Amino acid sequence: MQKVTMADVAKLANVSKSTVSQYLNKRYEYMSEETRRRIAGAIEQLQYRPNVIARSLKQKSTATIGVIVFNILHMLTTQVLRAIEDMCQQHDFHVIVCNTDDDPEKEKKYIDMLWAKQVDGFIIFPTGKNVDLYKRMIEARLPVVFVDRTVEGIDVDAVLLDNERAVQLGMHYLIEQGYKHIGLVAPPFAPHVIPRTERINAFRYALREANLPIKEEWIITEQVKHISGRLDALLQRNKLPEAIFAINDLTLMEVLTFVKRRQLTIPHDIALISIDDVPFASIYTPSLTTIAQPAFEMGEKATERLFMQMGGEISPQMFRLAPKLIERDSAKKRGDKGE
Amino acid sequence: MQKVTMADVAKLANVSKSTVSQYLNKRYEYMSEETRRRIAGAIEQLQYRPNVIARSLKQKSTATIGVIVFNILHMLTTQVLRAIEDMCQQHDFHVIVCNTDDDPEKEKKYIDMLWAKQVDGFIIFPTGKNVDLYKRMIEARLPVVFVDRTVEGIDVDAVLLDNERAVQLGMHYLIEQGYKHIGLVAPPFAPHVIPRTERINAFRYALREANLPIKEEWIITEQVKHISGRLDALLQRNKLPEAIFAINDLTLMEVLTFVKRRQLTIPHDIALISIDDVPFASIYTPSLTTIAQPAFEMGEKATERLFMQMGGEISPQMFRLAPKLIERDSAKKRGDKGE
DNA sequence: TTTACTTACTAAATCGATTTAGTAAAGGAG
DNA sequence: CTCCTTTACTAAATCGATTTAGTAAGTAAA
């Protein structure tokens, strides 16, 4: 495979390894023009490529960060990842990506492996279940940033959506449009899944605040594959709410599946608003009103914090990034025809 | 940061570093039960984590592969990546992901950096413009697999969609459904972009084969942002084709934008079929008939070949994976109402 | 002429593992 | 009791860089 080492270059250029190393690290200060040229020539001639692993060993830095996500297939994840990669590219850093499928065992294994691999930092969408491990990372002063979720009792940088605000934005809009009977669809409640918990709580709060009824049968927190069935049941009993708030793209898809199967009309039969600005929102009929997560900014913020941590001790902070309501036609006022 | 080394473990366990190393590598053969326990205890007590970088230096393998893609935001890329990551996970390998934005400069930089970083192999969606570099990689016997595109004159493993077959599948279907006036939308023609070229050529071939007219104004190869404008122009002159073949998801989106803006009905006013099974295909109205790329299999095949290369010399091969037509309602026979 | 400083290098230690060659002790055969 | 094996280890070299301490030669000042 690769055989040319610094020693070979040194020999050919008739200098010591040290000098070659100085050259590579651009410490030209006390180096003659002549020597510099000879080394450059030797490198060119031998097609020498420094072995970064060897350097890493000595310098204790790998210019690599580990990013641990649930599932790269989720749009939010992909976008955050893209932002991270862009920023790393500017710093000549590399990104190792790991999928946990929200499985704490896999998460643990990945953290251990990346740690052993001496990555310079971690950006993690945490499962939330490896509390001891997270603590050990912090104690070891590893640079760590959490994204999307935080974990109670872990003092670490975290970049999250302002979920309360997101729900508020959507609910205020729906209420403003005149909807009073509003339901929610979400995956099953799980206390450690922060965004879910916060969104569901904020939903209840918004209804209470507006003095609207909280009907438990309209709060569907169910495995995604069962959601459209639950909606079917409501429809059969003629008990559909006027509007539905879908807390993410997956649940939105289920609602749309239901709507299509039952040949309902949005927003006439049922109005719809959701968190996550799906790529087809504007070409769907009717176009979908959504609450967009600032995915790129989340990635940028997380990376920025990580680099700050790598640059020196800073005290952990939690960042709540602002969602944005994108008004389209799926939740226009009752009686309106839409655009 | 991390300070515990093998020497510390050795000292605490009262054995030599060599013995600790044997233990870590599970070469227990001539090791007493007692020693084993002492080492295990010391490791536990010191919370020792082996430094993989040091091991890599000696063993000349990093258990890491580099994946270089145009843009992780593309669905195909994401899916291929997911498959790669899954397979690597099984082998305890890691994946470094790099975005080139289809820029040869960035590609070159990334390949150089990853090479220096001693990754054990590369999976590349090649820009196609760094021919010399690709050649040097092959000469250096680096394991390399190309995905999505190949490059003329480079003898390397490549995993591609069977583009001819994909177009044929779609075109036969359209023709079977009774469409005779068929147009195509694609990004601008570029000879090194294999899938594009092959699809456009196959489209012309399919028309010729069926004795249908090839009208150049219906073959729209245009920057994505200009596509819907071109369609507008055709509509104004009342010259729209009966059916449109969109060669990928991006162009499909443009057609859908146009259709929505002009309030046309699919498939009545215009039938539609596309390569790439977009996630909203089945919930769109009408549901969209698509030709799905076997993205996961592509990722799996690429990784499989990469591991084969890493296992020993094999001769390069090109793999053409089969697309799959998913019939829905956007291109049902003229006169039919759809489901 | 001596001392001091600058310039242009180099030798050797170091990073933290793996690995090879070797050794000491114990057990068994003759 | 010697010789050979087997067992259970260890010392030292190695991977390919970086880095520190040091040196030799040349120049300048006193």
Q: Is A83 helix (H, G, I), strand (E, B) or coil?
A: helix
Work out the average pLDDT over B35-57. Answer: 94
A190 and A218 inside one domain: yes
Q: What is the edge-to-edge ordering of all strands in the sheet holding B243-246?
A: B219-221, B182-186, B243-246, B271-275, B289-292, B324-326
What's the CA–C1' distance between B7 and D5, in Å? 31
With a pLDDT cut of 90, the percent of chain A lying above it is 93
pLDDT in tens, A283-320: 999 999 999 999 999 999 999 999 999 998 899 999 99
CATH number of the domain at A33, please.
1.10.260.40
Tell whether B168 and B277 lie within a shared domain: yes
Tens digits of per-residue pLDDT, A36-62? 999 999 999 999 999 999 999 999 999
A336: pLDDT confidence band, cut at 50, 70 and 90? Answer: very low
In a domain, B207, yes or no: yes
pLDDT band at A147 (very low <50, low <70, confident <90, very high): very high
Residue B338 lies in a domain: no
Residue A245 lies in a domain: yes
Contact B1 A96 (CB under 8 A): no
pLDDT digits (tens, 9 = 90+) for B69-82: 999 999 999 999 99
Q: Give the rounded distance of the alpha carbon of B179 from its chain centre.
A: 32
Structural domain of residue A260, as residue ranges? Answer: 163-293
Residues B300 and B270 in one domain: no
If asked whether residues B299 and B288 sit together in one domain, one would say no
| Predicted local distance difference test score (pLDDT) of residue B333 | 80
pLDDT-derived band at B339 (thresholds 50, 70, 90) equals very low
Beta strands in A7-69 (DSSP E): 64-69
Q: A237 to each of A189, A231, A254, A319, B283, how far by Cα in Å?
A: 25, 10, 19, 44, 24
pLDDT for residue A1 is more than 70: no
Between CA A38 and CA B324 the distance in angstroms is 58
* B308 min Cα distance to partner chain A (Å): 16
Of the candidates B114, B136, B112, B110, the residue with the CA atom closest to the CA atom of residue B62: B114
CATH classification of the domain holding A227 = 3.40.50.2300
Which range (A18-32, A253-267, B289-303) has the least confidence? A18-32
Considering the domain architecture, whether residues A34 and A112 belong to the same structural domain is answered as no
**Residue A62 at interface with chain B, using a CB cutoff of 8 Å:** yes
User: Is A43 inside a domain boundary?
Assistant: yes
Q: What are the pLDDT digits (tens) for B141-188?
A: 999 999 999 999 999 999 999 999 999 999 999 999 999 999 999 999
The answer as to whether A330 is a domain residue is no
The model's confidence at residue A334, banded by pLDDT at 50, 70 and 90, is: low
| Residue B29 CA, nucleotide C30 C1', distance (Å) | 29
Per the domain annotation, does A332 fall within a domain? no
Of B85, B118, B256, the CB nearest to A283: B256
Is B167 a domain residue?
yes
Residues of chain A contacting residue B78, judged by C-beta atoms under 8 Å apart: 72-73, 78
Q: Which nucleotides of C are covered by protein (CB under 7 A)?
A: 7-12, 14-21
Q: In what order do the strands lie in the sheet with A271-275?
A: A219-221, A182-186, A243-246, A271-275, A289-292, A324-326
Cα distance from A96 to chain B (closest Cα, Å)? 4
Mean pLDDT score, A188-216:
95
Using an 8 Å CB-CB cutoff, list chain A residues near B50.
116
> What is the mean pLDDT of the segment spanning B83-109?
98
Whether any strand D atom is under 7 angstroms from the Cβ of A3: the reply reads: yes
Yes or no, beta carbons of B94 and A82 under 8 Å apart: no
List the one residue out of A148, A90, A88, A86 whose CA is nearest residue A121: A88
Taking CB atoms and an 8 Å limit, are A94 and B81 in contact across chains? no
**Amino acid identity at B22:** Q
Residue A243's SS3 state is strand
Mode of pairing for the β-strands spanning A157-161 and A144-147: parallel
pLDDT in tens, B222-278: 999 999 999 999 999 999 999 999 999 999 999 999 999 999 999 999 999 999 999
* Cα dist from B216 to A217, B179, B186, B227, B253, whole Å: 57, 17, 13, 15, 22
Examine the domain organization and report whether B286 and B186 are in the same domain: yes
**Same domain as A98, residue A196:** no
Task: Report d(CA A19, CA A37) in Å as an integer.
Answer: 12
d(CA A325, CA A338): 17
* Average pLDDT, rounded, for chain B: 94
Quote the pLDDT of residue A337.
43
Sign, CA dihedral B18-B20-B25-B31, equals positive
Predicted local confidence at residue B337, as pLDDT? 43
The 10s digit of each residue's pLDDT in B15-33 is 999 999 999 998 887 788 8
Both A98 and A43 in one domain: the answer is no
Do A132 and A185 have their domain in common?
no
Is B177 in the same domain as B279?
A: yes
Q: How many domains does chain B have?
A: 3
Q: How far apart are CA B201 and CA A101, in angstroms?
A: 41
Longest CA pairwise span in chain A (Å):
89
Q: Which of A54, A73, A260 sits opposite B79 (nearest CB)?
A: A73
Mark whether A172 and A285 lie in a shared domain.
yes
Q: What is the pLDDT of residues A152-184, one digit of tens each?
A: 999 999 999 999 999 999 999 999 999 999 999
Looking at the structure, tell me whether residues A301 and A193 fall in a common domain: no
Question: Does some domain include residue B328?
Answer: no
